[in-house]
Structure formats: C-alpha cells, structure tokens
Amino acid sequence: MKKRYLSTAIVGAVFVVLVAWVLLAERGRVIEKGEYFALQLADISQVQMQSNSYRYTLVRRGDEWWVTEPFEGLASTDEAKRLVESIASLKPQKRTGKNLQDPEFGLDKPVVTLTITYKGNRSAVIRLGKQSPIGQMIFATISTEPEALFLIDQFFMSTVDKDPAQMREKKLAANVKSDSVKQVVLQRTGEAVTAALVPLAQETTWRITEPRPLRADKSAVEAVITAVNGAEAVDFLPYTQENQAATGLNQPQVTATFTLQGEAPVTVYLGKQEKRSVKTSGTATPTQTEEDIVWAMRSGRSEILAMKSSLLHDLSKGLLDLRDKHIFPDLKREKINNVRVQREEGLNFSVMKSGPDWQVTAPKTGKAKASKVDDILFAVVDLQALAYPSESEASVDLEKYGLKLPQVALALGVEGRTEPISLWIGAKVPNETERYYLRTSLSNEVYEIDGALLRDLPRSLEDLLDSSSSSSGTGTPPGGPPRGGPTP
C-alpha cells in the first residue's frame, strides 16, 4: 500500500510541476516588486537609442526583432532579448524635490536617450546622465514622471548603449536544427534531391524520397543541417535588386529548403563565390583580411550575407553524397560464419567459424589468425560504393567491367540464409588509383569500390594461419583462376 501511495504522490507532484510550467509559459516572465514598467517582453514593440557613440532603432516584427536604423537587418535573438528584458524589468530608485537642471546630474546633455514604445502606442523616454558619486548608479529621468530624478544601475546603460553592428544576427538560420528538421531539399544546377524523416520498422529514419526512394546517409544529411545552423556571416549588404544581381543571388548556385517541426520552412540561397576584404573583430585593433566568401540569403530575411565559402561546399550535395552507400547495409559481422575466396592471383582459401575462433579449411587446415579474418569481415560489412556506373543501364555488360571473368570471387555464409552472399571484383576503374568494379548476388548493379578489401585479403597461407596452430591436409593450391566458385 505504501508503494502505491508513494507512486501516486510522485505522479501528482510531476503533474503539479507541469501545470505550473505551462501556466508560467503562458503568463510570461514573473513581474517583480519595484519594477517601473512591469512589462512582459511581448509588450514592447520598439526601442530607439541615441548616445554619444551609437544610435539605433529596434522594431519587433512578429517573434523577431529587426534593426531598422542605421541599417536594415535581423537582430540577434539573444541581444534583443537582453535589451528588452532590461527595460521591462527596470528597477530605478526615485528621488523627488531635486533640481533636474543641476549640472551634477548631467541631464541637460544626456549621455543616452532611450525611447520605448509599448502596449500599443504608449511611449516613454529615458534619459541617462552622469554617474552618481555613490554606488554604481546613473542619474536619469523618465518622461512619465518629468519632475522626478531617478537612479538607475549603470549596467542598464552598458546594456542599451551598444554598437548596432554587434546586435546584428550573424547566424544565417539559427532555427534550423537537427532535432527540428523533418525534410531537406537540395537543388543545384541539373539536380535536386530530397531527404525526409520516414517512419520505418518502429523507428523514424532518414530516407531519400526524390528523385527515387533510397536509403539516406544519416550523418551526411545531418552534416548539411549542422552546416546551416552553425554558419555565421562575416559581412552584410543591404537587400536591393542591384545587390542581388551583383552577388549572383538572382540565379543561385544552390537552394536548400528545410521543413521544420511546427515552424514555417526555411530556404537558404547561395550565390557567387569571391574574395572579399572583411573586418576582423575580437582583437584590440580590428584589421581587414581577405576571405573566400559566398553570398547568401535566407527566406523572410531581407538582407544579403557574406558567408565563409566552405558553406557552398557543405550544401553542394547531390544524390551520391546523401544516399547510404553501404553495399550491405543490413549485414552484421557476427552473422557471417564462413568465407570462401577464389582469385586469379594470390591465395585461394576457405575459413569457417568454430565457436569463438576461425578455422582454415582450405588449402590446409588449422586455426586462422583472428585479426586477419576480422580485417576481411570489417572490410566486407563496411563496403561502400564510390560510384554506381551501371545504375541506369537496362542490362549490364559484365565484360565491360571485367566481371564476366572476375579477378576475385568471395562467398559469405550468413546465419539465417540458405544461399551464400557472393561478391565479384572485376577490372580496375580506368584513370583511377586503387578503384575497382564490383557486383554482388543481391543486386544487378555494378559498383565502384576502393581497393581496401583486396588489400585485406591474405597474401599467403602463412599470412592467414595462426603460427601457434598445426596444419595438415591439402586442398586447392594457392594461385590460379577461380575453380568451382560462384560465377556472375
């Protein structure tokens, strides 16, 4: 009974916490005692700031904040929130009966003048003067009480008196994140590919849906998303038709569209690639450096961004880049229980799993080197296509690829399968180093693979046999063409 009551109490406590969280989220931030304006962040619609060093105007547009003066550009979400929150939660100390014209306060020529618009068309002007000799406070006036003197924490001044360039959103598309993207469409000249999250066998996984259904390489798709999420501008241009044409964004090289969970789709456009002199920040003395950049735009954002040119490489992906190139995506190493290899040159051999060990069964018998067999199995299981030369061919000319009389034939016995999986390695790919044609018994396709599997095959019997094991018997001699093995 006690356990049942304890479980009920825990469930009840969790429910109360969830309800409180939902109510707090709907209500917004908690208004604290002493706040002058006592506003929610959404109550503030515009902020204008004029100081001895800077000036800017910030305007709310939906859920975003935009700098509209001295330039037009999206504001950083974090910077805008910090600014608006400092205004909404302002806690000044009020003094009455003071002569506001007293030079001690510095309010005749304020250091900062801040005009805020809130709750529709209501407005207030905050003027910040000199620093108080006592404490870290600034003398101020607020237009809603023109006769009163206020003392405001000087941190407020450092928050609002800021270079508008630092308040600019440098991220190209901060809301494009791996946990929110449901679909990616990449378009470049002559090619378009779509990858989407698809429910499959009790899990949701990335699949290529266009131009045809294929397995997707999850890491490749997520690398595209990560590249966009992390991309930051190094420079900006105002959005005009002239600038759009000059940067090649009227005819983009790459267009990437991301469908998001619960949000509007985001489209990124990449234009010309060029060198540009860019101001470096974060140092005592800003300098100009030459950068390779690519011009970019994002849907819903009326400005042109100069991005590091690596973004063009990261988004210039086609079907071959995004598809899963594993030739045996479902093959598990631990399910393979025997291997037979026949080839024109080199050792012909067979090995069979015996408990935790592998035994050589031909051309002689004995314990096999576990590391050598593991090298072969890992190479087979991780075998990936570098290209698909016959994918669009109605019928395959095996002789064209050296697969009519292959140089190597492998047969894999796999637990749960009545027939072995066969692989045939044919001719070397012309004008390529260590690249070969391959075909399997599971498909009529021809693949191009690297030479790793060939390099992992043992060169001699001594290379295969464990030196601590004794060997006896005879079998197929090493060398010579494949005999009795699988044929294409």
* Residues 1-22: tens digit of each pLDDT: 444 544 444 445 444 433 333 3
Domain boundaries, the chain: 41-167, 181-322, 333-464
Pick 41-167's CATH classification: 2.60.40, 1.10.10, 1.10.3470, 2.40.160.
2.60.40
Structure tokens at 118: 């809130």
* Residues 300-339: tens digit of each pLDDT: 999 999 999 999 999 999 999 999 999 999 999 999 999 9
Higher-confidence residue of 202 and 59: namely 59
DSSP 405: S
Q: What is the C-alpha to C-alpha distance for residues 377 and 385, in angstroms, rounded to an integer?
A: 17
pTM score above 0.75? yes
447 φ, ψ to 5°? Answer: -115, 160
* Residues 370-403: tens digit of each pLDDT: 999 999 999 999 999 999 998 766 688 999 999 9
Q: What is the C-alpha to C-alpha distance for residues 20 and 12, in angstroms, rounded to an integer?
A: 12
User: What is the pLDDT, as a whole number, of residue 471?
Assistant: 46
Q: What is the dihedral of CA 213, 218, 223, 229, to 10 degrees?
A: 90
